[in-house]
Structure formats: structure tokens, C-alpha cells
Amino acid sequence: MRTFLNHADNAVLRLIPRRKAPAALPVLADQAVATTARSAAAAPTACALTACIAGSRATVLEVRCGDVEACRLRALGLCEGTSVDVVRSRGCTLLEVRGARLALGAAIASGITVLPVA
């Protein structure tokens, strides 16, 4: 524990060190290979919306952008769990969301994590 004294008002500040994270349990080699093979064959992995090609369908997992932008996107219907169709992905990303079309710039589209539907 480290202690600091503030001379202006004679206050004492004590800093308590952080606890160390528990060590991860060891994984057997056979389990790691089986898990990797199963996950690779099972389903597509999550990616940024900008990685989706035109004509694909995806489900929104996370919207990571500024609070104002995220609030506006949710008001337009683009929220977690929503299924979107990628109409165009050149320059800006053109989406079809619940019957409406939305055009998103590359900066905002890269902050949206989706799960492509196979």
C-alpha cells in the first residue's frame, strides 16, 4: 500500500494495489484442436459491417460509436439484434433495415459489429 500526504489540507491518500487476475486453466492439446476445428466449421465469425459484401445479410451484434450517433442509429431501427441486408458496400455502406434504406459512412460502419448470416 502506498501513502501520499497532501500538504495543502493535511489529507492522506492511500492507494491499494490491484489484485492480479487469476491464471487461466491449462488446456489440453486435444481439447484445443477439437475446439478450433468445431468453431471453424460451425458458424461465421463476427466482423465489422464494412467487411460485408453487397447482397449479404447480417445480424447486428454491437454498435460502437459516439453516444449521439448510436442514439440516432437506434432511433432509425439499427440496434443490436436487428437483421440488415447490405445493398452496396463501395465507399459508403447502403443497408436495408426493416424496409428502409440507410447509408452509413465508413467511419460509422466500421464501428458496427455484425454476424453474417450463412
Residue 75 lies in a domain: yes
Q: Give the pTM.
A: 0.62
Q: Is the pLDDT of residue 28 over 80?
A: no
Residue 30 lies in a domain: no
Residue 94 belongs to a domain with what CATH number?
A: 2.30.30.90
User: How large a percentage of the chain has pLDDT more than 70?
Assistant: 63
- For residue range 90-106, list pLDDT tens digits in order: 888 999 999 999 999 99
Determine the pLDDT at residue 49.
92
Domain coverage including residue 66: 47-116
Determine the pLDDT at residue 33.
52
Residue 8 lies in a domain: no
**Average pLDDT of the chain, as a whole number:** 79
Residue 1 lies in a domain: no
What is residue 51's DSSP assignment?
G
Residue 76 lies in a domain: yes
Number of structural domains in the chain = 1
- For residue range 40-73, list pLDDT tens digits in order: 555 678 999 999 999 999 999 999 988 899 899 9
What is residue 82's DSSP assignment?
-
Are the C-beta atoms of 86 and 52 separated by less than 8 Å? yes
Residue 22 lies in a domain: no
Q: How confident is the model at residue 89 (pLDDT cuts 50, 70, 90)?
A: confident
Of 73, 76, 109, residue with least CA distance to 90: 109
Residue 80 lies in a domain: yes
